Amino acid sequence: MYLSGRQSEILELAKTEGRVLVDELAARFSVTPQTIRKDLNDLCDGRVLTRIHGGAIFPRGNENVKYEARRSIAAPEKQAIGQAAAAMIPNNSSLFINIGTTTEAVGEALLDHTELMVITNNINVANRLRVFPSIEVVIAGGVVRGADGGIVGEAAVDFIRQFKVDYAVIGASAIDHDGALLDFDYREVKVAQAIIANARHVILVSDSTKFERTAPVRIGHITQVHTFITDMCPIENVRAICQEQDVRLIETSR
């Protein structure tokens, strides 16, 4: 496809930062939001970007975005989701936290809690929480995935199965419109399934960009969680499933 100079620069920004937003681009290029929306629509029609609410992301939804780029995608939304999840978790409780940039935002929001026992297969979460004496950190054993510090494999699954905790905080790489929770690595999925099975209350944390993506491995279904926290849920079928199956839906942007 032919790209104008501005569209080429927008594409490069999206490649570097993982996400671009209409308002920020309009200010950067001194043009109207309508002009930027047209640029983004052209780029998305050409399948080089994927549209999200308020902007676009790179790469296309069926590709596993590099971990550092994922940190920047919907960062303010993830922070708000993390704070909402942390508000649900009382002091003097036990919980699982699995792999993901949104689950890491929950870990960050838990720093003012006391007397927590956090069991995790996420090295980033463990490293952040370990310096707080009021939080006991227990880390799973297994294969460390270099890309994101996630611990996966059968050893991690067996480790998780030793516990029965009050809460589990899980993420997903994609959420299908039928409510299926999806990921890319079957080894990570096995750990997530063990976490779901061994928690009294499961909290799914996911920003709305996950509705724009797909992944090949099924973790489970949204009906297996008790609370779903997102910035917004634009899929009416998922809303209906939550309502019918008593899954509490919390939208932080509403």
Instruction: Indicate if 41 and 94 belong to the same structural domain.
Output: no
pTM: 0.77
Does 217 reside within a domain? yes
Are both 21 and 51 inside the same structural domain? Answer: yes
Residue 94: what pLDDT? 98
Does 195 share its domain with 219? yes
Q: Is residue 108 located within the same domain as residue 234?
A: yes
Residues 17 and 109 in one domain: no
The answer as to whether 52 is a domain residue is yes
Does 174 reside within a domain?
yes
> What CATH number is attached to the domain comprising 131?
3.40.50.1360
Q: Are residues 109 and 208 in the same domain?
A: yes
Which amino acid is residue 166, in one-letter code? Answer: D
Listed residues 14, 36, 60: the one ending a domain: 60
Kindly report the CATH number assigned to the domain that includes residue 15: 1.10.10.10
* 165 and 193 belong to one structural domain: yes
What is the reported pLDDT for 79? 94
* DSSP calls for 105-171: HHHHHTTT--SEEEEESBHHHHHHHTT-TTEEEEE--SEEETTTTEEESHHHHHHHTT--EEEEEE-
Task: Enter the tokens of residue 22.
Answer: 């209409």
In a domain, 198, yes or no: yes
Residue 65 is predicted with a pLDDT of 58
Asked if the structure places residue 69 within a domain, the reply is no
Count of domains in the chain?
2
Look at residue 68 and tell me if it is in a domain. no
Residue 89 has a pLDDT of: 98
Asked if the structure places residue 66 within a domain, the reply is no
Do 164 and 85 belong together in one domain?
Answer: yes
222 and 137 in a common domain: yes
Domain contains 65: no
Could you tell me if 105 and 215 lie in one domain? yes
30-67 burial by CB neighbour count: b if 16+ within 10 A, else e? Answer: eeeeeebbebbebbbeeebbbbbbbbbbbbebeebbeb
pLDDT per residue of the chain (254 residues) written in tens, 0 to 9: 577 889 989 988 887 777 889 999 999 999 999 999 999 988 888 777 877 878 888 754 545 556 666 666 778 899 999 999 999 999 999 999 999 999 999 999 999 999 999 999 999 999 999 999 999 999 999 889 887 889 999 999 999 999 999 999 999 999 999 999 999 888 899 999 999 999 999 999 999 989 988 888 999 999 999 999 999 999 999 999 999 999 999 999 97
Residues 185 and 234 in one domain: yes
The answer to whether residues 20 and 92 belong to one domain is no
Domain enclosing residue 34, as ranges: 5-60
> Using an 8 Å Cβ cutoff, are 94 and 167 in contact?
yes
Residue with tokens 């009382």: 90
Distance CA 44, CA 50 (A): 5
